Amino acid sequence: MVSLKSMPSLSSIFSAYAAMSASVLVFQTMFNQLVPPQVQAYVLQNVRYYFTPRTPSRMTLVIEELDGITHNDLYDAFEVYMCTKVCPNADRLKISKSSKEKHINVKLARSERILDTFQGVEIVWSFVCEKNQKTDMNGSYSDEDEPFSNVFVRGLERKHFELNFDKVHKDEVLGTYFPYVLDKAQAIKHEKKILKLHTLAYPMSHSGSVMWQSVNLKHPSTFEKVAMEPGLKKAVIEDLERFLERKEFYRKVGKAWKRGYLLYGPPGTGKSSLIGAIANYLKFDIYDLQLMNLANDSSLRKVLLATANRSILVIEDIDCSVGLPDRNAVYSESTPQAFNTDKRRRDSQFSLSGLLNFIDGLWSSCGDERIIIFTTNNKEKLDPALLRPGRMDMHIHMSYLTPQGFKLLASNYLDIHDQHPRFGEIDGLIESMKVSPAEVAEELMKSNDADACLGGLANFLKRKKMETSTEAKDDHQAADNIELREAKRLKSDDH
């Protein structure tokens, strides 16, 4: 406890105050006389800065819809990202959905604000719509701050986002947050993407420009529904996954980021269904190219360069879609083969080398993340140059139906997921003959009753087996007759 006796007297306190005041006056006099005015101002400014209470400095970034006369891709990405950040207590939202979209789009309405937190940094988003300063009857605007005063702008409003945050986090926002938003928006677009099937417009435009026409692709095929061997199906999926994940690997080894697949097998074995399943799995658009519509290699290059990244180029029936010359064949000038080859060369300047050059030559680097698919019913008819690795990296044999494939079809068409009394008989018939998945699928669609369908399928397979056996006997007998006639002719020649 402090006693009154220990406290200094009033006279001692007054003496200390007088001494301190005298010292301050002496210091002030010396400071004013010896220190230049410029140095005095600098010292006082810093003293005031450290002793004056301050509020955090804020920074605002503006992301406009238009960048001069071009659309701002950054604005589109942030608009997509903001759809996932709309808070439940927002007062006004903008809702839209087009006839071609599956999802409802939720966007910020004018002057709405939301708070986004990224790695501990709070970022306030604002959506702003402003009237154009000057507009004419055509909807054009002029602004003294813009270099282009007669540019057409959609509507009479100028839209932009404003991002407000503590200034000390500027590098983190620009260096980390922005790339994160761009990647997130890309993933959202990929998930909502409506696949397109592109085909070449014919005839082409008079200007010589390439015109791809497209329709929405709503192919129902998925890997779960494709009737093919489970091991082969798994290998295809794993190969596609590796392809998507190896962008840096392709760049490191100096190869174009592309992949080639050859689908071969008899008709009706599911080659087109597999293409649809690959497109749905990757969310890639399909470009269906008919080579017979191309006049020369120059047209081929223009067409292929007009395809987008993250797409699938499909050339079906490559063995018969165009008369590709056999580079290894040697014909005499008098043979019909030589005449037909010369005629094809006169009619079309399109060459196999032009196609190969775009698949793995210098032109193959004009694009990223592309898949090239060839289909054929007769692999043995193709030029070996088409089949080597680097062009067709994976050869996928689409075979006739197997018992495992049949069970998958029965599950898809009849919802039979367990064993059925008819399965044993049908499996035996399938193993003893060649039948395509398309033929079996057609039989499974003839009735809604599973027992009736399987009974009809068993009868169909029995008839087909008998017809095949009869045709084989007829062919064998015809061959014997030919050999017999040839033997008789040789015998008569000897006499």
pLDDT, residue 150, reads: 40
What is d(CA 156, CA 140) in angstroms, rounded to the nearest whole number? 8
Dump pLDDT digits (tens) for 37-65.
887 788 777 777 676 666 668 899 999 88
pLDDT computed for residue 352 by the predictor: 72
pLDDT at 348: 46
Distance CA(283)–CA(194), nearest Å, equals 8
The predicted-structure confidence for 127-143, as pLDDT tens digits, reads as follows 888 776 554 444 444 44
3-state helix, strand, coil in the chain (%, to 5): 45, 20, 35
Most confident of 103-117, 190-204, 215-229, 480-494: 215-229
d(CA 420, CA 58): 71
CATH of domain 196-397: 3.40.50.300
CA–CA separation, 495 vs 486, rounded Å?
Answer: 15
pLDDT of residue 324: 53
Average pLDDT over residues 249-271: 91
Average pLDDT over residues 177-196: 88
Nearest-angstrom CA–CA distance, 102 and 72: 25
H helical segments located in 415-449: 423-431, 437-444
CA–CA distance, 406 with 394 (Å, rounded to integer)? 25
- Where in the sequence of the chain do the CATH 3.40.50.300 domains occur? 196-397
